[in-house]
Structure 1
Amino acid sequence: MLLIQFVTESQERRVGILQDTTVRVIDGYATTFDLARAAIAQRCGLAQLADSAAGSDTIDYETLAGEGRILPPLDHPDAAHCYVTGTGLTHLGSADTRDAMHQKIGGDIAALSDSMKMFRMGVEGGKPDTGSAGVQPEWFYKGDGSIVRATGQDLEMPAFSLDGGEEPEIAGLYLIGDDGQPYRLGYAIGNEFSDHVTERQNYLYLAHSKLRNCGLGPALLVGALPAHVAGVSRIIGADGQVRWEKHFVSGEQNMSHTLENLEHHHFKYGLFKRAGDVHIHFFGTATLSFADGIQVAPGETFEVASPTFGPALRNRLAVHESPYATVTAL
């Protein structure tokens, strides 16, 4: 099942089931957040509740997308209660790209960089037996719900950024129940979006490079994630022509960690099990246009698509002003 959130022509929020290009509007619940809270309270599956609450009203997805009325598939009424986080070096093949960034020129090529050490740790210990903890992955904080952008919205990088590059990834979407238990609603395709030039200067700048917007959606895949997910990432020039394209794969078959292990190492912290909070957690990628020497320019568009998740995610790159920050003493 694919769920989407959108606004009506009168700017009222709605959630619906996407079937091909038709959206069946769900009655009684204005948001995915409300629907998920009800499913937890009623102790039923999200898909089961959505299907039983779907009414007879329908709307065309392309109409919604064309009019800019698609929302991210999950958000929180208070953006400060939505954590956006992620893990890196989780996909087979991803270490080559990251290591190329971090390896010092003229260094000892026989020695493993920190990135390669982390990647090897994941390969050796990232898939433990069910119910037991494996090696912990690289982890980063990206922001709160205010940074999330829906398909059709701009991804804005601050003027001080050295780069704005895509990272086509799958994100897990979660809600913490009143009992403190994390509940996974499902998955969405995403563009984690980072400043790779800043990160390349020194891998200790990774935390800075991640504090950017991200693209999410448009659809929430309810249920299990296939072991193999295939998709394509594109950079579309301001003239509408594709200037870079590469296929990517994800899912546990293509990863050095299980999803369960990645989830454990995020939710093992009590901070991330606060009742009512929403979590958007990116699982990593092995495909970057930056690795092929591409630097995306403002006005160009990122497209991330996979048939597993329905419609493509499209976001144009923009720049926002970032004046010098000062602090006022009281």
Structure 2
Amino acid sequence: MGAILKEGAPPVIVKDATSVRDLALEAARSDASLEQLISARGVEGQVDYDAIVAEKRLLLPLDHAEPSRCTISVTGLTHLGSAESRDAMHAKLAAGDLSDSMRMFKLGLEGGKPNRASIGVQPEWAYKGDGSWAVPPEYPLGLPAWAEDGGDEAEVVGLYVIGDQGEVLRVGFSLGNEYSDHVMEQQNYLYLAHSKLRQCSYGPEVLLGELPRDVVGTVRVLRAGSTIWSNKFISGEDNMSHTIRNLEHHHFKYRGFRRPGDVHVHFFGASVLSFAAGIRPRSGDVFEVESKAFGRPLRNPLIADEKMELLSVKML
């Protein structure tokens, strides 16, 4: 397991550490922060970051040895730019009416940032898959043959481990590409749950501590080595209609999401989409998400899966 101790420095190896999850649990049991535990463990040697990236040896920054014990989930309509992107995908209603997306966004604006003693309005939420649905940085995101689309969603991701007594332990934050089927969602909003059941990626680095209030980054779609679309994406509470604390509460309020030892990966919502600009990524394209606050960029190529025949179920 590697750590970057200061900006621009090469990664170093943390002694006797092979799993971020295990290190997080040990930190909680020792009543220490991850930074304190890493400092106590000590480090050795440097890692050739460029070589690891080129050789596709990067791992997901947080996972579970048993993928079924990692829950990946998403929330949306949480950013001040996201409602426009989403609403552009849905049919306009009669004058004076609001779409369901805009109603949900309005709820967040009015009640997503309560005082610290109160619980705010709950956000949109969807299931994304378990740990087997996540691919490491530099690895391909699959485009199913039956999919209508495979589009980028550049987001900040919260990474969590559940402690021995069911306490929620936030490891930190990473860059993420939620990757969804926006054409399918556009056909009918009730297809939203289907549209989210795609692979995703996050990393390559974990930002420890609090999320900066103003996160600015760039998301790109590259084709044959050239950028065909790029845009600035924003995150952090200054650019959101919900607090991180409120989003965390409404995910972890479910007791089943507080099973000791489990890992949770929670996407906090996108502010821009290439889909809204008319871009239709195709096999061979590369998604790139970067923000100075998170170190190296997250990159994943898009690769079409083989055609799937009609699935048959065996009767017992």
**Residue 229 of structure 1 contacts residue 251 of structure 1 at CA under 8 Å; is this kept in 2?**
yes
Instruction: Quote the Cα distance in structure 2 between the aligned partners of 1:113 and 1:288.
Output: 19
* Counterpart for residue 140 of structure 2: 154
How far is the alpha carbon of 1:131 from its aligned partner? 3.1
Instruction: Quote the Cα distance in structure 1 between the aligned partners of 2:39 and 2:146.
Output: 46
* Counterpart for residue 11 of structure 1: none
* Counterpart for residue 47 of structure 1: 35
C-alpha deviations, 1:179-238, integer Å up to 9, x for none? 00110000000000000000000111000000001110000111111000000000010x
* Counterpart for residue 4 of structure 2: 17
**Cα RMSD after superposing both structures:** 1.1
Instruction: Quote the Cα distance in structure 2 between the aligned partners of 1:257 and 1:147.
Output: 27
Counterpart code for 1:324: L
* Counterpart for residue 3 of structure 1: none
**Residue 21 of structure 1 contacts residue 61 of structure 1 at CA under 8 Å; is this kept in 2?**
no
* Counterpart for residue 23 of structure 2: 35
Alignment of 1:159-178 (within 5 A): 159-178=145-164
How far is the alpha carbon of 1:109 from its aligned partner? 3.1
* Counterpart for residue 80 of structure 2: 92
Percent identity of paired positions between Structure 1 and Structure 2: 50
TM-score (norm 2): 0.97
How far is the alpha carbon of 1:320 from its aligned partner? 1.6
**Residue 176 of structure 1 contacts residue 182 of structure 1 at CA under 8 Å; is this kept in 2?**
yes
Instruction: Quote the Cα distance in structure 2 between the aligned partners of 1:280 and 1:194.
Output: 16
Secondary structure in 2 aligned to 1:246? strand
Counterpart code for 1:220: V
Counterpart code for 1:49: L
C-alpha deviations, 1:20-49, integer Å up to 9, x for none? 251110011111111111111111001111
How far is the alpha carbon of 1:325 from its aligned partner? 2.0
* 1:252 equivalent among 234, 237, 247: 237
Counterpart code for 1:100: A
Alignment of 1:197-216 (within 5 A): 197-216=183-202
* Counterpart for residue 7 of structure 1: none
C-alpha deviations, 1:78-117, integer Å up to 9, x for none? 000000001000000211111121225xx41321111110
How far is the alpha carbon of 1:18 from its aligned partner? 5.8
Does the alignment pair 1:261 with 2:246?
A: yes
* Counterpart for residue 63 of structure 2: 75
Instruction: Quote the Cα distance in structure 2 between the aligned partners of 1:15 and 1:124.
Output: 42
**Residue 179 of structure 2 contacts residue 200 of structure 2 at CA under 8 Å; is this kept in 1?**
yes
Q: 1:164 to 1:18 in 2, by over 3 A?
A: farther
Counterpart code for 2:267: F
Instruction: Quote the Cα distance in structure 1 between the aligned partners of 2:38 and 2:117.
Output: 30
Instruction: Quote the Cα distance in structure 2 between the aligned partners of 1:100 and 1:42.
Output: 49
* Counterpart for residue 302 of structure 2: 317
Does the alignment pair 1:66 with 2:51?
A: no
**Residue 285 of structure 2 contacts residue 302 of structure 2 at CA under 8 Å; is this kept in 1?**
yes
Secondary structure in 2 aligned to 1:30? coil
Does the alignment pair 1:307 with 2:295?
A: no
**Residue 143 of structure 2 contacts residue 283 of structure 2 at CA under 8 Å; is this kept in 1?**
no
Q: 1:59 to 1:206 in 2, by over 3 A?
A: same
Counterpart code for 1:216: Y
Counterpart code for 1:80: S
**Residue 15 of structure 1 contacts residue 31 of structure 1 at CA under 8 Å; is this kept in 2?**
no
Alignment of 1:289-300 (within 5 A): 289-300=274-285
Instruction: Quote the Cα distance in structure 2 between the aligned partners of 1:132 and 1:108.
Output: 35
TM-score (norm 1): 0.93
**Residue 15 of structure 2 contacts residue 44 of structure 2 at CA under 8 Å; is this kept in 1?**
no
* 1:102 equivalent among 82, 90, 97: 90
Does the alignment pair 1:285 with 2:270?
A: yes
Instruction: Quote the Cα distance in structure 2 between the aligned partners of 1:55 and 1:290.
Output: 44
**Residue 15 of structure 1 contacts residue 32 of structure 1 at CA under 8 Å; is this kept in 2?**
no
C-alpha deviations, 1:250-299, integer Å up to 9, x for none? 00000000000000000000010001000000000110000000000110
Secondary structure in 2 aligned to 1:120? helix
Counterpart code for 1:16: A
Instruction: Quote the Cα distance in structure 2 between the aligned partners of 1:84 and 1:157.
Output: 19
**Residue 17 of structure 1 contacts residue 25 of structure 1 at CA under 8 Å; is this kept in 2?**
no
* 1:191 equivalent among 177, 180, 187: 177
Alignment size in residue pairs: 314
Secondary structure in 1 aligned to 2:4? strand
